Amino acid sequence: MTAHRTIPAERCYWANLDTSPLPPARSRKERREQLMYLFEDRLPIALSDVHASFVELGQGRVAACGVATDTVAEARDVGALTLVPDAVPGFLGGVDPGRMNLLTGAWQPIAVRRIKSRWKSTAAVLALAIFLGLGVGLRRRTAMLSERAGDTNRVIDDVYAQVLPPGGTQPPAVRLVSELRTLHRTRTEGVGAQVASDVGGSLVALLAAWPADLETRTEFLSVSEDAVQLRVLVPDNAAAQSFVAAFESVQGWRPTQPRVNQAEGAIRVNLRLEASR
């Protein structure tokens, strides 16, 4: 017995249904119930004794093909996977008979149901695996960004510690602004004020050029009025090149030849900026 059976078209019940009077269906089940209701008027036997297949034709028309449930049950019980008419009447616009499989719904073969069930289970497992993978990836990304933010904050804190006097109750950023304003007002009062102002300017230029999007770990940082010295660890050579390039256009400063070498599973960058003014 072949798994794909055909049934003579003359043993089927046919109709070209006008669905324009029907309200929009909220589900596929409701749509089928509407179509069965329209098809009932075209059947010579009770609707409960017919299983039907429907194909949308467009412009509010639907092709209907019905077969006695005894015929459908017989095909299913002998192991058929599909049951389609061998032809379609011309008034249905040349519909492909293969689209009118009658072994569907309550008459769907057990083998087909098992395959669909396996596919659903596999899809559910894959969806769960993807969801878990995304969750792990997002957690790792969040942890990495938090670590980078922490490294940047440590660099800023180190710079603040070098250029600001000890003590004070205000946040370092507020104290820096206050110091710069004070130095600006008093820069003509002595050499010491001039030097401190230059150090403050160096700090501003350094923080503005620092590549916040790179993963860095600062080992050493020194800021003075005529030089800035940096020693940082970065993940790889590409990051080292990006780090050095970030300081090439700092106004008033000229980078010297950097020293780059491997250390502690990372790349160590030694960079010195000299005042060009």
Q: Are 80 and 1 in contact (CB under 8 A)?
A: yes
For residue 51, give the nearest of 23, 26, 32 by alpha carbon: 32
Q: Are 97 and 84 in contact (CB under 8 A)?
A: yes
DSSP H helical ranges for 2-87: 28-40, 69-77
pLDDT of 223 above 60: yes
Q: Are 233 and 266 in contact (CB under 8 A)?
A: yes
Tokens read off for 33: 């119930």
Q: For residue 112, what pLDDT band results from cuts at 50, 70 and 90?
A: low
- According to DSSP, residue 44 is labeled S
Higher pLDDT, 238 or 169: 238
Of 22-31, 249-258, 266-275, the one with minimum mean pLDDT is: 249-258
For range 159-167, the mean pLDDT: 69
Residues 6 or more apart whose CB falls under 8 angstroms from that of 211 comprise 242, 243, 246
Cβ-based neighbour number of residue 244 at 10 Å: 18
E strand spans, 102-225: 217-223
The pLDDT value recorded for residue 270 is: 92
Q: Give dist(CA 21, CA 18) in Å, integer.
A: 8
Q: Are 265 and 254 in contact (CB under 8 A)?
A: no
Q: pLDDT tens across 172-218, in order? A: 776 777 777 776 666 555 444 454 455 566 667 677 788 888 888 88
Of 47-51, 158-162, 262-266, the one with minimum mean pLDDT is: 158-162
Q: pLDDT tens across 114-137, in order? A: 665 665 566 666 777 787 778 777
Domains and CATH numbers, the chain: 4-108 (3.30.420.380), 151-275 (3.30.70)
The pLDDT value recorded for residue 263 is: 82
Higher pLDDT, 1 or 209: 209
